[in-house]
Amino acid sequence: MVRDRVVKGFGSFLGGFALALFVAAPAQAEPLRKAEATGGQGEALLRQALALEHGEGVPQDMARAATIYCESARHGHPEAMYSLGWMYANGRGMYRNDAYAGTLFAMAAFLGHPQAARMTRFTGPYTGALPDCMHPVPGRTPGTLSPEKLIGSMSPSRREVARLLVQLAPKYGIQPEFALAIALTESNLNPQALSPKSAMGVMQLIPATAERFNVTKPYDPEQNIRGGLAYLRWLLAYFEGDVRLAAAAYNAGEGAVNRHGGVPPYRETRAYVERIVGFVGDALHPFDHRVTAPSPALRKLRAISEEEMGS
């Protein structure tokens, strides 16, 4: 049955939890479907993709829009599935592919998208064919950092710092998992930490960064954390939500990332980036494009990526 094939397709990228929802009784599954499908990260990614597709407040970038639609779709967002399907159905910024479009429309329709079912009349039905971005990256595992579980295992002093960090992170648009991954890697949540390069406090701010983000008391946990979160927010906007580039820049500086056109070839930085990505799992993070203009290195990186895909 088509329904069975759609369920199996979902299971390949949403995991066992989503699969359980789709085979549950409809009355029980409906509210859970919507909660999973419209989760915060998928919704935030969808807004970014819409802005990039239509050039609303940011330069129009179809390739980037498709990438972020795909990430949102992998989080189970039906509108992202529909929008990515529309791009494939109309050859909007990419080669037309009715097989991909039909599958994406069918999946969106299964989650209750009102227009998606009608679109399959033009593209054909669900076939299971999906673009590569909808499949898990080989060798990549989901993030392993559970903030609550981790905080519960800490000593009282570190637990207090961690809870402050988790409380403040959303106010800066930072996911708690990402903030914790950075702070644990930088200082192990030690407010008095001082590195040989004069990086200070929980978020290991060097003097120039502390001054840049108005941190006058770098050993005060809250002020230091706020400064570090402000810097992370800036980096995520500068690198348009690319976790790898933002993490690399936090370690080695955004200038180094720009000079090397990506993660610098430093052993320490590469290990740092892999540790952070291993913690958070996702390669994209929601960002606020109003914070700063994007890095000039991004256009070069995307051009290289498109050349590699076309070769």
What's the CATH number where 174 sits? 1.10.530.10
294 and 209 housed in the same domain: yes
152 and 296 housed in the same domain: yes
- The Cα–Cα gap between 143 and 170 comes to 18
State the residue range of the domain holding 178: 147-310
32 and 65 housed in the same domain: yes
Burial class (CB in 10 A: 0-12, 13-18, 19+), 50: middle
164 and 117 housed in the same domain: no
117 and 213 housed in the same domain: no
- The Cα–Cα gap between 156 and 152 comes to 9
**Has residue 156 been placed in a domain?**
yes
Q: How many domains, the chain?
A: 2
User: Is 186 an annotated catalytic residue?
Assistant: yes
What is this structure's pTM?
0.61
**Has residue 140 been placed in a domain?**
no
42: domain CATH number?
Answer: 1.25.40.10
Under a CB-based contact definition with an 8 Å cutoff, are residues 284 and 247 in contact?
Answer: no
49 and 153 housed in the same domain: no
47 and 125 housed in the same domain: yes
75 and 158 housed in the same domain: no
14 and 43 housed in the same domain: yes
Taking every pair of Cα atoms in the chain, the longest distance, rounded to a whole number of angstroms, is 64
**Has residue 302 been placed in a domain?**
yes
pLDDT tens, per residue, the chain with 311 residues: 444 444 444 444 443 323 333 333 333 333 334 434 445 667 888 898 999 998 888 888 888 888 899 888 887 888 999 999 999 999 888 888 898 898 899 888 888 888 988 898 888 888 778 887 776 554 444 455 577 778 887 889 899 999 999 999 999 999 999 999 999 999 999 999 999 999 999 999 999 999 999 999 999 999 999 999 999 999 999 999 999 999 999 999 999 999 998 999 999 999 999 889 888 876 788 899 899 999 988 877 766 544 444 44
Under a CB-based contact definition with an 8 Å cutoff, are residues 237 and 291 in contact?
Answer: yes
Q: 186, 240, 254, 308: which one is catalytic?
A: 186
**Has residue 139 been placed in a domain?**
no
